[in-house]
A and B are shown apart, each in its own frame.
Chain A
């Protein structure tokens, strides 16, 4: 890509085509490349598979944006420097250059189509719903979270004073069933490159597939009232064995009692519980 164009009229059709080909190839290249060769453009490679797909798309978009941005900025700077006032004569009163105008209409359309295709490919990966046994129900309320596990006693509830912990196994597809009991909240784990609204009356489902163990930081992203700023939770990704041990810890008498107490707390929080009308298992496409 040459950044300083010779003239707006100049370049022959062939180099335009080449530029077009480069522009089209880039987002796709950005996705197919594993990401090692490209910088992150400020984003971080995620610790989930879906987040990684989004990260590669981010790189593709960033390359396109950087090229277009640099090209346009170069045009502006060139115009500003080269055509500053030098005298009083009136320049040529050109108003139209139809071929040029068509070029800068058609090329952006092609770029947009390429970006759209890349978007759809990534979106299908991000929103895929593979079959899985691990399913976590997430309840958001003012101002805390409750995590319960399908067919298990395990539970974690907490609000602003003590962050609850969502424990999930590594290298496994984990279904998240997300809802809110009062107002709209936002489920967001920054290291997973993903967020989803917790809507009252709606069960939002999506899949997380963590690739790395560790503790990740989550918080509410959608303004939900007074203590929105401190509505935190933690996501603890553990190995399969540790996960089973953790689940089993709720099956001991003490564990059961603790779980029952926690369930009571959650039930109280959900006293304003609203009936679920809509179930969404994928983005609505």
Chain B
């Protein structure tokens, strides 16, 4: 039933092909040189994970300063100029340097090849290049803090003409553009790599409709990356040429159009939202069924929901531009509203996966449920914003800020779920469950304490990106609550670091600590150099479960309706 395969022995150099075990240990360079020269997707993925979590900490630290400033209507913690830099870099770091790379670079890089039974990514060297471009892009953007004039200060959306050379002179803005170009190319290469891996390196029997949902989502994300990121890179090149080469693409004076930047930016920016979100949806879709001891409910519906989100995502960008008055309101309104349908299907499927299960409340499962609840809040408030008349009076207020922080904090919670779930697979050691659960409560409650006052503030008319609000001291209470929430989120991040230190190499995980479903739990923890010594026969989307529970197969289609 189980067969040792040759597929894992794929290195063309080195010793004979017959013995898989010969490849378990890879004899490459050691130490720092190993890190610099590695092409192993697991090490690259780990580098991605560590780098992006560092970015999360940096971005989070900036957020704490922002919340410190806003806890007082006449805050003097930072100046207005510094404040503009702070929220610009907070947004840029979180979106470009944390959320994206963490979503499609970190866990995806480690897990996707293993989930489909592949020995590595399709293009290992391109994969390494992606990481180096990401790292250098991050360094480039952060260098902005150290140049004269400071870092970029025109918001993470960089609306032209504020971002052109007249209104934002200085190297900080150029470094922002350069950093985005590098990370943009990094994302494109990762997208190519994941597509090729999923299309060409699946194990025998792993048909497309047997892939785990996480892999499915990453495939769709990669397609979206290839559609969206080139547009951003092109837009940035035009912005740079406006700044330094004398063109007038985004300036009215020379015959250009400032709104063009908004079109280009959001044509990337809205698919980017799904590029960020779908991997975390995938993580949660892996975790909830495992800890409910059930298969994922509505597998095919889940796949089609993901594809529908991807299909619609290209036609919704201008809902960020409703208040410009120059976009086709009904088209973007209905497209954006329709996104709620596949998203709703996903939420019902998550609940369906728990229904009549045996729910084990491990830290990963708690984080996943926290994700669903937080995302529910963010999703429902998103429906309002798809309606132009409602967007008119909430646009650029804290309502928007609260909405997307509900969503992205849901993603952070989902990402934590992923780290607690796959951490043992990556490192070989369990994370401390008790600290994990404490961290969950801090993060989950902190998120709500952080966002809910912001919804109210937005409806009361507090615009975003305000350093001070001297005319409205009545907002101080709610802002202080929001700051308290931010501190709780900060504590939860510290708890995560404490957990890593506390559980460092303490409790070996074994191959399959969660009784999980998919192929990565069939191999050792951490997996060997080319991932597998052997593979089970793949007859459903849960090969490891089928192997461990031969008498508890998924009920055939239709037999489940009692």
Partner of B324, one of A42, A120, A199, A277: A199
Pairwise interchain contact A83-B392, C-beta atoms closer than 8 A: no
A14 in contact (CB, < 8 A): no
Q: With the chains together, A90 CA to B289 CA distance in Å?
A: 12
Residue of B nearest to A105 (CB): B345
Pairwise interchain contact A283-B295, C-beta atoms closer than 8 A: no
Which chain B positions have C-beta within 8 A of A222? Answer: 159, 396
Which segment, of A201-209, A238-246, A249-257, faces chain B? A201-209
Pairwise interchain contact B562-A219, C-beta atoms closer than 8 A: no
Query: In chain A between 82 and 101, which residues have their CB closer than 8 angstroms to a CB of chain B?
Result: 83-101
Q: With the chains together, A98 CA to B295 CA distance in Å?
A: 15
B518-562: contact bitstring with A at CB < 8 Å (1 yes, 0 no)? 000000000000000000000000000000010011110110111
B465-504: contact bitstring with A at CB < 8 Å (1 yes, 0 no)? 1111111000000000000000000000000000000000
Pairwise interchain contact A79-B345, C-beta atoms closer than 8 A: no
The count of chain B contact residues (Cβ–Cβ below 8 Å) is: 97
Query: In chain A between 265 and 285, which residues have their CB closer than 8 angstroms to a CB of chain B?
Result: 274-275, 277-278, 280, 283-285
Query: In chain A between 179 and 199, which residues have their CB closer than 8 angstroms to a CB of chain B?
Result: 182-184, 186, 188, 190-197, 199
Pairwise interchain contact A94-B333, C-beta atoms closer than 8 A: no
B463 in contact (CB, < 8 A): yes
Pairwise interchain contact A283-B393, C-beta atoms closer than 8 A: no
A191-231: contact bitstring with B at CB < 8 Å (1 yes, 0 no)? 11111110111101010000000000101111111111110
Pairwise interchain contact B161-A183, C-beta atoms closer than 8 A: yes
Which chain A positions have C-beta within 8 A of B555? Answer: 92-95
Contact A223/B162 with A95-B295, A193-B392, A195-B392 known, Cβ cut-off 8 Å: yes
A3 in contact (CB, < 8 A): no
B322 to chain A, nearest CB (A): 8
Pairwise interchain contact B358-A72, C-beta atoms closer than 8 A: no
B454 to chain A, nearest CB (A): 11
A sample of 12 cross-chain residue pairs with beta-carbon separation below 8 angstroms, ordered by A number, consists of A57-B387, A73-B373, A85-B360, A93-B295, A93-B554, A96-B558, A97-B560, A116-B334, A123-B388, A184-B161, A201-B252, A226-B84
Chain A positions within 8 Å of B, measured between CB atoms, are: 8-9, 42-44, 46, 51, 53-54, 57-58, 61, 65, 68-69, 72-73, 75-76, 79-80, 83-101, 104-105, 108-109, 112, 115-116, 118-120, 122-123, 126, 142, 182-184, 186, 188, 190-197, 199-202, 204, 206, 217, 219-230, 232, 274-275, 277-278, 280, 283-285
Chain B positions within 8 Å of A, measured between CB atoms, are: 80-81, 83-84, 154-155, 159, 161-162, 167, 252-253, 257-259, 292-301, 322-330, 333-334, 337-338, 340-341, 344-345, 347-348, 351-352, 354-361, 369, 372-373, 376-377, 380-381, 383-384, 386-390, 392-393, 395-397, 455-456, 459-461, 463-471, 549, 552-555, 557-558, 560-562
